[in-house]
Amino acid sequence: MLKIIFKLLFSKINNTKSQFFSLVMICAIGVAMYVGVLDVSKMMQQNAQAYFDKQKASDIEVLTPFLITDQKIDDLIKLDNSINYEKYRILDVKADYDSHEYIAKIQTNLHYNIPYLVKGKQIREDNDCYVDANNDNLLNKKIKINLNGTTKQCLVVGLVDSPQYLSIKYRGYSSISPSKINLIIYSQESYTDDYFKNMPLPSKYNALSISYPNKTSNNTFTNNYQDFVDKKLKIIKKVFNEDYLTSRFDNKSIDAFYIDSERIKEIGAIFPIIFFLVTALVCSSAMTRNIQDDRMLMGTISSMGYSNIISIFVYFLYAFLSTIIGSIMGFFIGFHLIPPTVMKSYSILYSLPNTKVYYDFDISLQALGITLTLIIITTLVISFKETHQKPAQLLRPKTPIQGKKILIEKINFLWKRLKFLSKVNLRNIFRYKKRLLMSILAIMGCSGLLMTGLGILSSVEPIIDKQFSDIYHYQALAYTDSVSKTTINDYIKDVKKLKNLEQVLATYRLNGTININNKANDITIISPESAQQLNKIITFNKSFTDNSVIVTRKIADKLHLKSNDNLRITYQDEDYVIKITGITDNYVGNYLYINHNQFTKSFKINKYNTLYLKLSNTKDKDVLKKLEDYSFIKAIDDDSFLQDIVAKSLASINNLVYIMIAFAGFLVIIVSFSLTSINIIERKRELATLKVLGFNNLEVSNYVLKENLILSILGLSIGLVFGTYLHHYIMSHIEANDIYFIQEQPLINYIIAFVITIIFTLIVNIIMKSQIKKIDMVESLKSIE
């Protein structure tokens, strides 16, 4: 019994090699897309987590302008004895090599946030040190480190990454210079002794790493972990109330990584599901076809006196086998192709050494489960239906579906005008309703996905230009202490003596939060000294006036705000309700621009702390360097820094989208190929008859392929609409984000999606033409005995 089943199964597979193969392939790309894209963000986070675990990333860092005393640590242990900790030293210094000056940080941690050696040797000697990995030119070089007049040399023996500095870009600000930190030096504790010489004994540490061995969750990127750490922060605050406490999420680079990974998740959320459903649909229609095509086998089996169950079982195994093989291939392709490609593109922003592929069994089981269920149900239903017939019936070809008049024929004047063959084409299209629906759905799905992919690209691509050329016209921000109008004007007068400064505008800037769907979102509030001048620095949809309170688009969309609505902002644990007068386009960050009168009234602040700098010659940034020498300037933010990070992050999204578009294009080909070949196999007899009648190859091909083209165009048209909605849905539901994605599809996308789908259909048609040419009249028409 089992023997006969396997014999039948293998002969069936052998006889339908190409169908089996295409079934496996379609299943594989569907599963690959599903597991691959849905897992990208998780795999990024898993890799980050593995890195944190391996390098023992601390849970909380304490940094103090004073010293970490043993007394304080004892106090903390009394409150919470579950902690592990390490005291270490961290210092802002200046370093130089080859007359290039670095704004640097030197730190001595050993047990937590262990530096990961990328290149070079371990530290051995007192004067050995590591620097962070993007400073290839410093390896094996001696650099000079300067602090408070003490200068020492150290030898860079290794290049390292650290979980503390996950982002290659964010290194924070220095306390001794307005520039951003651009070098991290890791040394032995003894090396820094000189700098601590004058500090009182016995404790000479100013930083503390805290780690909890028994966490409720080890996974940084879960709420569970965050809640845990929030609780611990409260405890630590009781002891270290004057110091800086940073959890992993206050770490700017881990936070940025988290946001990037969540953004990728939201962009790749629905696309793979639709993709997967289309492939499942095509698989089950191919399987249906496959069984119906094979009535002879069923007839033979049951006429030999075997139970129908055997043939049903053979089909079941056939479907099962193709799905399993396809899914396993899909898992490998999906997990190994998609997340690593995306992670690779993010490696220009984040240093995650040794990324690995983690298989996600949940997602895999989901994909396998859905595919298996769909295909097996189809298989069972169809094979039960077919085997229900008498063997003799089965041995004859299925009686063709009866011809019927179609609706258009009722519109007489139109119908009369059609060419004869067009009439036949039209009737054929509506002959097999199921096939019609299937084809239209499948092509709609593919072209819709193509449209969505292209849409995401055009939502992402122009952001940099729009934000940094069309909206922002300044090049840098300079931060000062909060000072009065007269003082800030003095500052401005002072700096204006420098060349190349076209405009300097005083503003007050503060960071608040707003609540969107119970989540705190950052918002930057900016109040200009002169409303009129702000318009030269930032382009608003409607000019900024002395009465303007303008919020940026993303916030307005999320909170459904209109002019004259109230916006609730939280700032330093207090709520402020502000009536807005307008909304303006903005793509990066969330801002509230508020006239100074209103600002003073609401926040009770009548001061300024930030200068917007607009350069005459934007290429020449020397002036920013010179500004560092002004004592009142605490920090300088070159806008190109932000622009660069956003551009790189968006480019990484694009890499994922390219993959999705490529898959969608591939799907168009496969689907159209499989539908066409089903169509041709199904109607072999009909086509052979036409050949006998003397129709030439072109005429015979047109007979079916025109139908195909019409179906494609129908499906495609619906697909374009579907894609527009799908794209809009995806883009407008992105939450974890301070980026506003453009929601509209440009016309060119419709044209591209249309042309690509049509071209692919035509290519498939050309391939199919040779298939039609090969149809053997004698074979196909052989009378059935």
Q: How many CB atoms lie within 10 A of CB 560?
A: 7
Least distance in Å: CB of 401 to another protein? Answer: 7
Given the rule CB under 8 A, which of 215-223, 271-279, 401-409, 604-612 is the region that contacts another protein?
401-409
* Distance separating alpha carbons of residues 403 and 405, to the nearest angstrom: 7
| Contact call for residue 436 and another protein (CB under 8 A) | no
140 vs 696, beta carbon nearer another protein: 696
Q: Which stretch, 133-141, 332-340, 398-406, 556-564, contacts another protein (CB under 8 A)?
A: 398-406
149 belongs to the binding site for another protein (CB under 8 A): no
Q: How far is the CB of 744 from another protein (least distance, A)?
A: 43
d(CA 627, CA 631) in angstroms, rounded, equals 9
Instruction: Find the part of the chain contacting another protein (CB under 8 A) among 19-27, 126-134, 717-725, 774-782.
Output: 774-782
Q: Are 323 and 371 in contact (CB under 8 A)?
A: yes
**Which range of residues in 3-11, 185-193, 302-310, 427-435 is near another protein by CB under 8 A?**
427-435
Q: Do the beta carbons of residue 306 and residue 298 sit within 8 Å? A: no
Pick from 737, 753, 370: nearest CA to 557:
737
Site for another protein in 241-260 (CB under 8 A): none
Q: How far is the CB of 396 from another protein (least distance, A)?
A: 10
CB of 414 to another protein, least distance (A): 17
- The answer to the question of residue 401 lying near another protein (CB under 8 A) is yes
What's the closest the beta carbon of residue 359 comes to another protein, in angstroms? 47
The footprint of another protein on residues 722-751 (CB under 8 A) is: none
Round the CA-based radius of gyration of the chain to a whole number and report it.
34
Binding flag, residue 553, another protein (CB under 8 A): no
Nearer to another protein, 479 or 695 (CB): 695
CA nearest to 647, candidates 469, 396, 499, 439: 469
Q: Which stretch binds another protein (CB under 8 A): 102-110, 131-139, 353-361, 399-407?
A: 399-407
Identify whether the C-beta of residue 182 lies closer than 8 Å to the C-beta of residue 102: yes
Provide, rounded to whole angstroms, the least separation between the CB of residue 777 and another protein: 5
Q: How far is the CB of 332 from another protein (least distance, A)?
A: 39
Binding to another protein in span 64-83, by CB under 8 A:
none
Asked if 577 interacts with another protein (CB under 8 A), we say: no
Could you tell me the smallest distance in angstroms from the CB atom of residue 685 to another protein? 7
CB of 651 to another protein, least distance (A): 53
Of the candidates 42, 180, 204, 427, which one interacts with another protein according to CB under 8 A?
427
- In 517-585, beta strands by DSSP E: 519-528, 549-552, 566-571, 574-579, 582-584
Report the residue number, 71 or 696, with the smaller CB distance to another protein. 696
Least distance between another protein and beta carbon 785 (Å) = 9
Element (H, E) at 98: none
Q: Count the residues in the chain.
A: 785
Dist CA 161 CA 134 (whole Å)? 9
> How far apart (Å, rounded) are the C-alpha atoms in residues 390 and 477?
84
Query: In the complex, what is the shortest distance from the CB of residue 710 to another protein, in angstroms, rounded to a whole number?
Result: 15
Question: Per residue in 251-288, is it b (16+ CB within 10 Å) or e — as a string?
Answer: bbbbbbbbebbbbbbbbbbbbbebbbbbbbbbbbbbbb
163: cis peptide before it, omega within 30°?
Answer: no
Cα distance between residue 467 and residue 538, in whole Å: 10
Footprint of another protein on 671-710 (CB under 8 A): 685-686, 688-697, 699
107 conformational bin, left if phi > 0, alpha if psi -120 to 50, beta if neither: beta
Residue 687 or 742 having the CB closest to another protein: 687
Q: For another protein, give the closer residue by CB, 128 or 682.
A: 682
Q: Which of 81, 198, 399, 572 binds another protein (CB under 8 A)?
A: 399
Give the DSSP per-residue string, 344-357: HHHTTTB---S---
- How many residues belong to the site for another protein (CB under 8 A)? 31
Is the Cβ–Cβ distance between 427 and 705 less than 8 Å? no
Residue placing its CB nearer to another protein in the complex, 175 or 696? 696
Q: How far is the CB of 404 from another protein (least distance, A)?
A: 7
- The string of DSSP codes covering 25-73 is HHHHHHHHHHHHHHHHHHHHHHHHHHHHHHTT--SEEEE-SS---HHHH
Q: Which stretch binds another protein (CB under 8 A): 120-128, 255-263, 425-433, 737-745?
A: 425-433
> Does an H or E element contain 581, and which?
none
Closer of 402 and 572 to another protein (Cβ): 402
233 vs 710 by CB, closer to another protein? 710
Helix (H) / strand (E) containing 502: strand 501-516
Compute the distance between CA of residue 21 and CA of residue 31 in angstroms, rounded to an integer: 15
Nearer to another protein, 429 or 615 (CB): 429
Least distance between another protein and beta carbon 382 (Å):
21
Q: Which residues pair with 91 in a beta bridge?
A: 106
Q: Which residues contact 13 (CB under 8 A, 6 or more apart)?
A: 20, 318, 321
Is residue 200 close enough to count as binding another protein by CB under 8 A?
no
Looking at the Cβ atoms of 514 and 775, the one nearer to another protein is 775
Whether the CB-CB separation of 515 and 523 falls below 8 Å is answered with: no
> By CB under 8 A, which span of 281-289, 567-575, 733-741, 773-781 interacts with another protein?
773-781
Footprint on this chain of another protein (rule: CB under 8 A): 399-404, 420-421, 423-424, 427-428, 431, 685-686, 688-697, 699, 777-778, 781, 783-784
